[in-house]
């Protein structure tokens, strides 16, 4: 029940209000009464009533002065003023202090109760509104981080129009409408040995990288005046930095990224490639800067880890030795896994580059030729140690010295590489198919107790899943799922026959996460249930 304080120097009025108003029906009780202004203030601070009803003329302090004092700390507290018919100036003064409720003396009981109901209704509406606002702020506090994260991701993947990113929308999510935006892509380069790690171990390293990125941004944010840097956890190996500001913070951004790259490598031994997109003038262009940053990071990956590239640099590079180094790096990569068709594609790019006018000297071409041939010879000796290579290194070096014209050297090199590629295709054609299947089987032997993704296996072998699936069935006579279940059941049979494990334990140990499914597959392949064997 709410409370009311009555203030009047006339005891008859106090008595009449106390006895004739049906306070319980109004949901009110009298917290106390006062006969002068000073006592009224002392009583108010002691009992903290929900409503105050006061006469204007009081000893010590007027009712308006009491109202003024209360309003300083309680601007929304309902105050009802008792005023005479000829006291318009008093009413106007009360309005200046936010009092909108008046009772003109002498007032009838019905009129007093009507004003009190109006006051209580207004107070109830205000309190409901305040509760709703508090609830909204609590809910918004929980939802806004998710909306902010989703919004940042959409900026990188959705092409908005400028009118779709209004200032109100940006501010609601927590962004001021900055006039400069730029994007940096950070690519975690997962080394070969890490691809054999359990996914949990990789995710722990990735979490460590995310923590370094966030902490570095937090530490440097205060130094980047008029700039705001947001981190987007974009994918399993990619983090994105979104810079918004009133100026181009490129130098600070480069320093920031450099620290991240260095610390991630120092503490986690993970190399990071970074690409910086160009500066844009509106948040709707974030997607363009992001796509540019991805192009830049691809160039950084070809050059090796822990490199930072700007999009402008990748676009403005002329034909130089750097162009050859990128392609030679690709050449080495494709020969590492004997991807002959890709090797041919890389050679065609180098061939066209060498043929272009003024892009290479005879000396540059000779250096490129020796590098190409050395890679092929090295891989031949490792793959076919008992076979004679299509061309000996001594013969190659002798021939290359005899070519005095760039055109002749390029044409001869083209014939050598094509002849070599043809020979490789003949030697490894069938062997490669069998080797791929052997690698798949080896993977199953090493990981049968884990969750196995055929697509992940295909990706690790640099082949398309559909091609690998067809090849596996042609070579083995069964599809991969059947082979995997058969291998797991064979291992399960051995474990059950040992007598050391329960059925559910064997199910877990052989990669069947569902014991019921394990029993069904086991019986289908062996004709017996696991419990019969155990």
Question: What is the sign of the dihedral through the CA atoms of 400, 401, 406 and 407?
Answer: negative
Q: What pLDDT does 163 receive?
A: 84
Q: Which two tokens stand for residue 247?
A: 């100026």
Unique residue bearing structure tokens 């052989």: 510
Helix (H, G, I), strand (E, B) or coil at 280: strand
Does 527 have pLDDT greater than 60? yes
Unique residue bearing structure tokens 């004092």: 69
Mean pLDDT for all residues in the chain = 82
pLDDT, tens only, 211-234: 999 999 888 777 777 788 899 988
Residue 240: band (very low, low, confident or very high) from pLDDT cuts 50, 70, 90: very high
Distance from C-alpha of 442 to C-alpha of 448, rounded to nearest angstrom: 10
Report the pLDDT averaged over residues 452-464.
Answer: 84
Q: What pLDDT does 321 receive?
A: 44
Q: Which two tokens stand for residue 75?
A: 């601007």
Does 183 have pLDDT greater than 50? yes
Does 306 have pLDDT greater than 60? no
- Would you tell me how many other CB atoms lie within 10 Å of the CB of residue 6? 25
HEC assignment per residue over 290-351? HHHHHHHHHHHHHHCCCEEEEHHHHHHCCCCHHHHHHHHHHHHHHHHCCCHHHHHHHHHHHH
CA end-to-end distance (rounded Å), the chain: 73
Residue 279: band (very low, low, confident or very high) from pLDDT cuts 50, 70, 90: very high
Residue 50: band (very low, low, confident or very high) from pLDDT cuts 50, 70, 90: very high
More confident residue, 46 or 194: 46
Distance from C-alpha of 514 to C-alpha of 523, rounded to nearest angstrom: 14
Residue 210: band (very low, low, confident or very high) from pLDDT cuts 50, 70, 90: very high
Distance from C-alpha of 451 to C-alpha of 479, rounded to nearest angstrom: 17
Q: What pLDDT does 534 receive?
A: 65
Residue 315: band (very low, low, confident or very high) from pLDDT cuts 50, 70, 90: very low
pLDDT, tens only, 264-277: 888 888 888 888 99
- Burial of 399 (C-beta count, 10 Å sphere; 0-12/13-18/19+): middle
Q: Which residues, other chains included, contact 75 with Cβ-Cβ below 8 Å and sequence gap of 6+?
A: 98
Edge-to-edge order in the sheet of strand 79-83 = 28-34, 2-7, 51-55, 79-83, 101-104
Q: Which residues, other chains included, contact 171 with Cβ-Cβ below 8 Å and sequence gap of 6+?
A: 177
Residue 194: band (very low, low, confident or very high) from pLDDT cuts 50, 70, 90: low
More confident residue, 307 or 449: 449
More confident residue, 54 or 357: 54
More confident residue, 91 or 438: 438
80-83 LR contacts (CB < 8 Å, sep 24+): 80/51, 80/52, 80/53, 80/54, 80/115, 80/116, 80/119, 81/54, 81/56, 82/8, 82/13, 82/53, 82/54, 82/55, 82/56, 82/107, 83/56
Among residues of the chain, what percentage have pLDDT more than 70? 87
Q: What pLDDT does 24 receive?
A: 93
Does 34 have pLDDT greater than 80? yes
Asked which of 115-119, 145-149, 360-364, 501-505 is least confident by mean pLDDT, the reply is: 360-364
Report the pLDDT averaged over residues 325-352.
Answer: 80
DSSP secondary structure letter of residue 189: E
353 near 330, Cβ under 8 Å?
no
Residue 16: band (very low, low, confident or very high) from pLDDT cuts 50, 70, 90: very high
Beta strands in 125-226 (DSSP E): 180-189
Does 524 have pLDDT greater than 90? no
Q: pTM of whole model > 0.75?
A: no
Does 303 have pLDDT greater than 70? no
Q: What pLDDT does 358 receive?
A: 46
**Which has the closest alpha carbon to 17: 123, 124, 120, 111?**
111
Residue 430: band (very low, low, confident or very high) from pLDDT cuts 50, 70, 90: low
pLDDT, tens only, 76-123: 899 998 876 555 566 666 677 667 687 877 788 898 999 899 999 988
Q: Which residues, other chains included, contact 345 with Cβ-Cβ below 8 Å and sequence gap of 6+?
A: none
Unique residue bearing structure tokens 């068709």: 341
Length of the chain: 534
Helix (H, G, I), strand (E, B) or coil at 285: helix
DSSP secondary structure letter of residue 274: E
Does 436 have pLDDT greater than 90? no
pLDDT, tens only, 351-406: 888 877 544 567 677 778 888 888 888 877 777 777 788 888 888 888 887 776 77
């Amino acid at each position: 029940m709410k409370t009311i304080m009555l203030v009047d120097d006339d005891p008859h009025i106090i008595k009449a209000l106390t006895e004739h108003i049906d306070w319980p029906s109004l949901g009110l009780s009298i917290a106390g009464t006062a006969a002068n202004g000073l006592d009224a203030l002392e009583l108010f601070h002691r009992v903290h009533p929900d409503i105050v009803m006061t006469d204007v003329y009081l000893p010590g302090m007027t009712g308006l002065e009491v109202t003024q004092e209360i309003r300083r700390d309680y601007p929304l507290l309902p105050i009802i003023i008792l005023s005479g018919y000829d006291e318009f100036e008093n009413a106007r003064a009360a309005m200046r202090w936010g009092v909108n409720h008046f009772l003109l003396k002498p007032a009838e009981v019905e009129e007093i109760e009507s004003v009190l109901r109006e006051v209580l209704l207004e107070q109830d509406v205000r309190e409901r509104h305040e509760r709703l606002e508090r609830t909204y702020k609590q809910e918004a506090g929980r939802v806004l981080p998710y909306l902010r994260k989703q919004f940042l991701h959409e900026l990188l993947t959705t092409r908005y129009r400028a009118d779709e990113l209004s200032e109100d929308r940006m501010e609601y999510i927590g962004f001021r409408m900055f006039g400069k935006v730029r994007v940096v892509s950070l690519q975690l380069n997962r080394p070969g040995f890490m691809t054999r790690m359990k996914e949990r171990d990789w995710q722990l390293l990735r979490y460590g990288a995310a923590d370094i990125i966030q902490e570095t941004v937090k530490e440097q944010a205060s130094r980047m005046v008029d700039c705001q840097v947001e981190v987007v956890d974009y994918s399993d190996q990619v983090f994105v930095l979104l810079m918004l500001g009133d100026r181009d913070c490129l130098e600070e951004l480069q320093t920031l990224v450099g620290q991240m790259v260095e610390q991630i490598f120092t503490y986690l031994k993970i190399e990071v490639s970074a690409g910086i997109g160009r500066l844009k003038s509106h948040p709707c262009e974030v997607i363009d800067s992001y796509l540019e940053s991805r192009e830049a990071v691809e160039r950084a990956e070809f050059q090796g880890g822990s490199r930072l590239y700007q999009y402008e640099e990748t676009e403005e590079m002329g034909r130089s030795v750097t162009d050859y180094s990128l392609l030679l790096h690709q050449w080495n990569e494709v020969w590492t896994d004997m991807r002959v068709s890709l090797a041919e594609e890389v050679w065609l790019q180098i061939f066209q580059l060498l043929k272009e006018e003024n892009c290479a000297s005879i000396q540059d071409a000779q250096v490129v030729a020796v590098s190409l041939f050395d890679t092929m010879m090295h891989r031949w000796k490792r793959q076919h140690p008992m076979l004679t290579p299509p061309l000996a290194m001594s013969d190659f070096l002798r021939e290359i010295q005899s070519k005095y014209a760039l055109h002749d050297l390029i044409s001869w090199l083209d014939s050598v590489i094509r002849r070599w590629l043809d020979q490789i295709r003949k030697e490894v054609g069938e062997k490669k198919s069998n080797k791929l299947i052997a690698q798949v089987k080896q993977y199953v032997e090493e990981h049968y107790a884990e969750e196995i993704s055929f697509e992940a296996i295909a990706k690790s072998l640099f082949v398309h899943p559909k091609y690998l699936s067809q090849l596996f069935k042609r070579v083995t006579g069964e599809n991969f799922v059947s082979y995997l279940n058969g291998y797991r059941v064979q291992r399960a049979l051995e474990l059950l026959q040992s007598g050391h494990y329960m059925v559910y334990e064997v199910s877990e140990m052989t990669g069947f996460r569902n014991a019921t499914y394990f029993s069904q597959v086991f019986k289908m392949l062996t004709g017996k249930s696991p419990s019969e064997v155990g």
